[in-house]
């Protein structure tokens, strides 16, 4: 087992989160969700000054719109993490508010249906439906670019929406912001094995969330379903530019690296970084640990760059870009061939 060398501030943040979110070993789903909400609320920061919010229903799905004091013509469509089982508009409110304000973008957070009450593909269907409404009948005047984004399970949904639009021949998002996303069914990825007992998320946790999302163990048809495992799609060409960020101490680290390498090989502009010394869910530590604050700043920078890019006109496929200066693989993670 790999030894995790965590920053003292990160360790303190994790210990405090465990304390606040603690539930009995035999906790019900309702108790687990309540513990998750407590931890999210505990680490939340006040909303930035001048930022306005508006709760609305878009395509039948509850959403929250964030309008910073200064915003351009881009919208960040955010799908929250929580294994498709936990989370809501309030658990990720502080995060989305901070990102919208720092990136200078309108943001929309999506309260998609959760499993097990609503198994796959309910969350994906909600995510795609909200994207389509923003694209085709947007309530946001002046917004002409949509970046799909999300953390963990939300990153999975963002990538799946981008691929679905391409596969259906529909106009897709302008860019993808994928934060420690769950993308692949490959249980032999190196980080799935070496970080099986990582702090914050274990490989066993991942299996539990996936089976809860599906309502059963995954079968052969599930493994081939790009709505569920967008990183395993046979063809990744023609997708929008992507920024992927992961954590060194996370079973999902190689999801980031493998997907970035395959996107690059398919001619998709991509930046990727594995944040050194951080565990899964580091976004919540951005106000509490300097390494997480620096990682969040890199995410904000990527959002700003994507927001400044005009929507690409139809035409020849864009050539692959070389790895960006931000690409890092601490902990010995190799970039897949």
- Concatenating the DSSP letter of every residue in 49-112 gives TT-EEEEEEETTEEEEEEE-SS--SEEEEEE--STTTS--TTTTHHHHHHHHHHHT-EEEEE--
**What does the block give as tokens for 139?**
């309530």
pLDDT value of residue 247: 98
pLDDT value of residue 264: 98
Q: Is the peptide bond before 116 cis (omega within 30 degrees of 0)?
A: yes
Taking the C-alpha atoms of residue 280 and residue 152, their distance in angstroms, rounded to an integer, is 8
Give the residues across from 272 on adjacent strands: 244
Backbone angles phi, psi at 253, to 5 degrees: -55, -45
Backbone CA torsion sign across 4, 181, 262, 227: positive
pLDDT value of residue 133: 97
Provide the 3-class DSSP secondary structure of residue 215: coil
pLDDT value of residue 319: 34
Indicate the domain borders of the chain: 8-13+36-44+51-310
Please choose, from the candidates 118, 52, 50, 129, the residue with its C-alpha nearest in 3D space to the C-alpha of residue 84: 118
Annotated active-site positions, please?
A: 152, 250, 280
pLDDT tens for the chain, 337 residues: list them: 567 899 999 999 999 999 999 999 999 999 999 999 999 999 999 999 999 999 999 999 999 999 999 999 999 999 999 999 999 999 999 999 999 999 999 999 999 999 999 999 999 999 999 999 999 998 999 999 999 999 999 999 999 999 999 999 999 999 999 999 999 999 999 999 999 999 999 999 999 999 999 999 999 999 999 999 999 999 999 999 999 999 999 999 999 999 999 999 999 999 999 999 999 999 999 999 999 999 999 999 999 999 998 765 433 333 333 333 334 444 455 554 3
Taking the C-alpha atoms of residue 197 and residue 233, their distance in angstroms, rounded to an integer, is 27
pLDDT value of residue 315: 35
pLDDT value of residue 309: 83
First to last CA, the chain: 25
Please choose, from the candidates 128, 125, 89, 85, the residue with its C-alpha nearest in 3D space to the C-alpha of residue 107: 89
CATH 3.40.640.10 fits 8-13+36-44+51-310, yes or no: no
Q: Where are the alpha helices (DSSP H) in the chain?
A: 8-21, 29-43, 93-103, 122-136, 153-168, 190-194, 203-214, 220-223, 253-265, 290-308
Is residue 122 a contact partner of residue 113, using CB atoms and an 8 Å limit?
yes
**What does the block give as tokens for 246?**
């992961």
């Amino acid at each position: 087992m790999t030894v995790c060398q965590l920053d003292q501030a990160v360790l303190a943040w994790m210990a405090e989160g465990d304390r606040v979110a603690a539930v009995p070993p035999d906790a019900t789903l309702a108790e687990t969700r309540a513990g998750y909400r407590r931890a999210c609320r505990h680490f939340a920061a006040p909303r930035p000054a001048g930022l306005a919010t508006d709760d609305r229903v878009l395509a039948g799905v509850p959403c929250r719109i964030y309008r910073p004091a200064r915003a351009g013509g881009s919208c960040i469509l955010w799908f929250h993490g929580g294994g498709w089982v936990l989370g809501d508009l309030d658990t990720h409110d502080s995060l989305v508010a901070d990102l919208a304000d720092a990136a200078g973008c309108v943001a929309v957070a999506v309260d998609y249906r959760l499993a097990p009450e609503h198994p796959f593909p309910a969350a994906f269907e909600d995510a795609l439906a909200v994207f389509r409404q923003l694209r085709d009948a947007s309530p946001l005047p002046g917004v002409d670019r949509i970046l799909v984004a999300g953390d963990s399970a939300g990153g999975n949904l963002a990538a799946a929406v981008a691929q679905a639009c391409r596969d259906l021949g529909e106009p897709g998002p302008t860019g993808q912001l994928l934060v420690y996303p769950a993308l692949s069914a490959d249980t032999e990825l190196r980080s799935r094995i070496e970080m099986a007992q990582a702090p914050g998320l274990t490989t066993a946790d991942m299996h539990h969330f996936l089976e809860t999302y599906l309502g059963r163990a995954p079968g052969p048809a599930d493994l081939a379903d790009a709505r569920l495992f967008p990183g395993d799609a046979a063809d990744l060409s023609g997708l929008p530019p992507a920024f992927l960020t992961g954590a060194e101490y996370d079973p999902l680290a190689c999801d980031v690296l493998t997907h970035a390498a395959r996107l690059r090989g398919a001619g998709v502009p991509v930046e990727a970084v594995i944040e050194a010394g951080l565990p899964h869910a580091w976004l919540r530590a951005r106000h509490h640990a300097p390494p997480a604050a620096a990682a969040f700043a890199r995410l904000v920078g990527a959002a700003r760059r994507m927001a400044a890019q005009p929507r690409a006109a139809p035409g020849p496929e864009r050539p692959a870009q070389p790895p960006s200066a931000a690409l890092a693989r601490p902990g010995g993670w190799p970039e897949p061939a």
